[in-house]
Structure 1
Amino acid sequence: MNLKSDVAKFAGKSSYWFLHNVLKGGTSFPGKIAMKLDPDILNTLAQNYETVIVTGTNGKTMTTALIVEALREKYGEVLTNPSGSNMQQGIVTAFLANKKSKAKRPIAVLEVDEANVKMVTKLVKPSVFVLTNIFRDQMDRYGEIYTTYNKIIEGIKLAPDATVIANGDASIFSSVDLPNPKIFYGFKLPSDHSQNDVKAPVNTDGVLCPECDHILHYHDRIYANLGDFFCPNCGYRRPELTYSVSEIIDQDPNHLSFRMGTKDYHINIGGTYNIYNALAAYSVARHFDLDDEEIANAFAKNKRVFGRQELIQYADKDIDLILVKNPVGLDEVLHMLNTEKDDYSLVTLLNANHADGIDTSWIWDGQFEDLNHEQIKQILVGGQRWHDMGFRLEVAGFLPEQMTTCPDNEAVIEEIAKLPTKKVYILSTYTALLSLRKTMAEKKIIKAGM
């Protein structure tokens, strides 16, 4: 610790205290201030921590939350960035916000934006990398999936001793030979599936064999490009899994039950994609010496996190607020909605700011046509690009008279109270979600902050 880092730390902590306690916010600005005074402040803040970096396209926030909940079972307090502010300044803020604790083992579990892995790794010396998946996302910012993975690889190569815990069902994660210790997780369904030979739909990205560019086939395809893949041309195949899910027992939008090994696990959230997040968290927890009972207890306690099926009570409505940001994530959320047994109303909020991705054409890859139209009693369409989403829903077969246009957050909140169903699902892009939550906080519908 030197004078520069002392000043940066003091300025960052002071700004965090003011923003958090007075303005009820501040997930990245304190980090910006501290980094302005000392660009390497993260190295100082993180030097005593055993750090886990969680990255990938989808599932980072939920995976991080589940890992933290599990590790707390054994080690007490765990430092993390729970708001999903996952670029360098947000991570610095997470350390600035952390109070001194008597944790049995100083551990930091950090959600890190894919493009920030290299710069964060330079400063925090991670002991574990967790890789969730790679899908097309904000192509104006990340490019194709191989470009995104290369950004992650550049960071991993800076920490060759760190353990890589990766989704073995994603062919891209076993495509690069790394010196790191590796643990793979995935779905390992009953053995009679081993003779299956299926292909992904023609518009699925990431299904070329990394060895010979032949189209990959699957014994089991779970969704998108994830599953028990193999190449019929050169023999490239899924790596041996260390941890696996053997059965999905039951699921609806608010609950998942699944089996890993001989034990059943339950989490209070829906969507097959969240089973992968739980499996990633399970793999990390086992790496940190937790037993199955401790992990099961942690999963049973899991809470909805910011924007990820966040449950909000307003008027007489049960509102699920769900972040959508790319084709695969959107499609999986739509599949989850089809596990809903009751009638519901749908709210869509579409923005096209830098943090959302300025190209909104990805909404055409979501299969809105597959939704159970009879269950959806009314639709509210909002956000800056409401007209794009409204047109997309019309093409999917929803009638214009089913849809109400909401020009701003005030109108969205006012119209939600009038909806004919108790259950309401809001699908929102990132900046629209932030904006809506801010308005809801001002109206005392939810607490301010994250």
Structure 2
Amino acid sequence: MSIRNAFAIMVGKTTRWGLHTFFKGGSSYPGMITQKLDPTVLGALSKDYEVVIVTGTNGKTLTTALTYQVLKQKYPDIITNPTGANMLQGIISTFLQHHSYTKNDKKKVAILEVDEASLVHVTKYVKPKAIVFTNVFRDQMDRYGEIYTTYQLMVDGAALAPDALIVSNGDAPIFNSKETVNKRVYFGFDHLPDGEMQAHYNTDGVLCPQCHHILHYKFISYSNLGKYYCPHCGFKRPELTYRMTDIMKMDHQSSRFVIDGEPFEIMIGGQYNIYNALAAYSIGRIFDVTPDEIRTGFQSAKRVFGRQEIINIDDKEITVNLVKNPVGLNQVLDMIARDPEPFSLVSILNANAADGTDVSWIWDADYESITDMNIKQITVSGERVEDIKIRLEVAGVPEEDLQVVPGIADLITSFKNAPTKKIHVLATYTAVLQLRKELANQHYIEGGM
């Protein structure tokens, strides 16, 4: 470690201590200060770690959390970035938090969620053992552009660590669309019999990347994910190394399924989260974690920020779901539709930089499906409340049945007055932050994150 490395780390650790001691926060700022003092500091901070990176448009946070719990069963000296600070300064802050001047002989592991566009900045200094590609769906068009632009960012980031193994979702055609300098293995679903179908017309990424004809599928799990093939040129899904072969139970709160002949359960609902568990399982096996240890890891995992997070307000049970793009929202809608009890629905729409300033994505989501659910009250809120109000009216919700509550503080009051015990909240990223801050102010939760 150079003198410059050591000085930057010392300043960063001191900054972090001050922020957490006196202001109870500051997850990325220490990393920003440290990086300004020494742009190469991440290499020095991470050099003693075996690193796994998780990236993709959807599922990063939960996949990271599950993988952390899986690897923790065998490698107790493990760190992660649970607050979602997934850009360069947040990654530096994570290593700063756990940096010690005392050496030990234990194997040190880091499992890191990394923003797709930030991957290239992280792998410039960190050389991971594996990089998980969860999926690529249309997300934050103002920032990323189309899905192929996002995927190129991921490929470019992985290429800076050519020895890293790419562990990717084999059911996503885009991940088989181009050669990479990295070796690749694939995980995916094999739980349905072969049939013959095509994806819905309003689905991205369904053209064959080789000949540009429409892809066909033996089965589809959701969106454009499934056992795809091109009848025109022979392009098809690659061989899967890790396979989910049976879904034994799936409801709005949990799932039981079989991977490589072994049964597993996660205490979070939705088919999309089985993919996240499959990704975590894949990394576990690469790190020689046994199926029994993986089961224990899955059972140890807790619901994380905005991912079916349950918050109790008096006698109400609030389930908070982060939504940010059409595919993710559709999967959340499919999940809450499985709730057997009547519930109230709250949709909070913001359009800040962290959410994506373009809210046109709400028009590609299947809000029409809510008219068939057992919903007793629908409330709209957020800085773009008029946009979501109009969208739900077009979806078939009568204007007189929509409760409009723009302010977050007033929204808490509306929760208490809801006609049902259960309330499902759909909120964009900054809306979740604002909601949690107000809940903390009213002493329903600790802290704002």
Q: Structure 1 length normalisation: TM-score? A: 0.96
Q: What displacement does 1:115 show?
A: 0.5
Q: Does 1:64 align with 2:101?
A: no
- Counterparts in 2 of 1:397-436, with a 5 A limit? 397-436=396-435
Q: What displacement does 1:179 show?
A: 3.6
Distance 1:370 1:103 in 2: 55
**Worse overlay, 382-391 or 169-178:** 169-178
Q: What displacement does 1:99 show?
A: 5.3
> Partner letter of residue 331 of structure 1?
N
**Worse overlay, 129-138 or 154-163:** 154-163
Asked if the contact 2:191/2:247 (under 8 Å) is kept, the reply is no
Query: Paired residue for 1:148?
Result: 150
**Worse overlay, 222-231 or 312-321:** 312-321
Distance 1:308 1:20 in 2: 25
- Counterparts in 2 of 1:356-367, with a 5 A limit? 356-367=355-366
Query: Paired residue for 2:138?
Result: 136
> Partner letter of residue 156 of structure 1?
A
Query: Paired residue for 2:222?
Result: 223
Q: What displacement does 1:401 show?
A: 2.8
> Partner letter of residue 129 of structure 1?
I
Distance 1:379 1:211 in 2: 45
- Unaligned residue ranges in structure 2 (runs of 5+): none
Query: Paired residue for 2:12?
Result: 12
Query: Paired residue for 1:180?
Result: 182
Corresponding residue SS for 2:91:
helix
Query: Paired residue for 2:86?
Result: 86
Query: Paired residue for 1:49?
Result: 49
Query: Paired residue for 1:312?
Result: 311
- Counterparts in 2 of 1:213-252, with a 5 A limit? 213-252=212-251
Corresponding residue SS for 2:74:
helix
Distance 1:22 1:417 in 2: 33
Query: Paired residue for 2:3?
Result: 3
Asked if the contact 1:166/1:182 (under 8 Å) is kept, the reply is yes
- Unaligned residue ranges in structure 1 (runs of 5+): none
Distance 1:186 1:110 in 2: 22
Distance 1:449 1:105 in 2: 33
- Counterparts in 2 of 1:353-392, with a 5 A limit? 353-373=352-372, 375-392=374-391
Distance 1:159 1:52 in 2: 12
Distance 2:128 2:260 in 1: 29
Q: Cα deviations across residues 390-425 of structure 1 (Å, max 9, x unaligned)?
A: 111111122223222222211111111111111111
Q: Cα deviations across residues 31-86 of structure 1 (Å, max 9, x unaligned)?
A: 11111211222111111111111000100000000000000001113111101111
Q: What displacement does 1:327 show?
A: 0.7
Query: Paired residue for 1:336?
Result: 335
Q: What displacement does 1:449 show?
A: 4.7
Distance 2:16 2:415 in 1: 34
User: How many correspondences in the alignment?
Assistant: 447
Asked if the contact 1:51/1:125 (under 8 Å) is kept, the reply is yes
**Closer, same or farther in 2 for the Cα pair 1:18/1:307, shift >3 Å?**
farther
> Partner letter of residue 109 of structure 2?
I
**Closer, same or farther in 2 for the Cα pair 1:307/1:324, shift >3 Å?**
same
Distance 2:248 2:264 in 1: 9
Q: Does 1:121 align with 2:120?
A: no
Q: Structure 2 length normalisation: TM-score? A: 0.97
Corresponding residue SS for 1:246:
strand
Q: What displacement does 1:159 show?
A: 1.5
Identity %: 50
Asked if the contact 2:204/2:224 (under 8 Å) is kept, the reply is yes
> Partner letter of residue 27 of structure 2?
T
Q: What displacement does 1:22 show?
A: 2.9
Q: Runs of 4+ in structure 1 displaced over 3 angstroms? A: 99-104
Distance 2:329 2:351 in 1: 15
Asked if the contact 1:168/1:184 (under 8 Å) is kept, the reply is yes
Asked if the contact 1:75/1:103 (under 8 Å) is kept, the reply is no
Query: Paired residue for 1:34?
Result: 34
Corresponding residue SS for 1:61:
helix
Asked if the contact 1:253/1:269 (under 8 Å) is kept, the reply is yes
Query: Paired residue for 1:189?
Result: 191
**Worse overlay, 402-411 or 338-347:** 402-411
Task: Provide the alpha-carbon RMSD of the alignment.
Answer: 1.4
> Partner letter of residue 418 of structure 1?
N
> Partner letter of residue 91 of structure 1?
I
Q: What displacement does 1:98 show?
A: 1.6
Corresponding residue SS for 1:278:
helix
> Partner letter of residue 133 of structure 1?
N
Asked if the contact 1:77/1:103 (under 8 Å) is kept, the reply is no
Query: Paired residue for 1:110?
Result: 112
Query: Paired residue for 1:167?
Result: 169
> Partner letter of residue 244 of structure 2?
V
Q: Cα deviations across residues 205-230 of structure 1 (Å, max 9, x unaligned)?
A: 01111111111110011001100000
Distance 2:43 2:128 in 1: 11
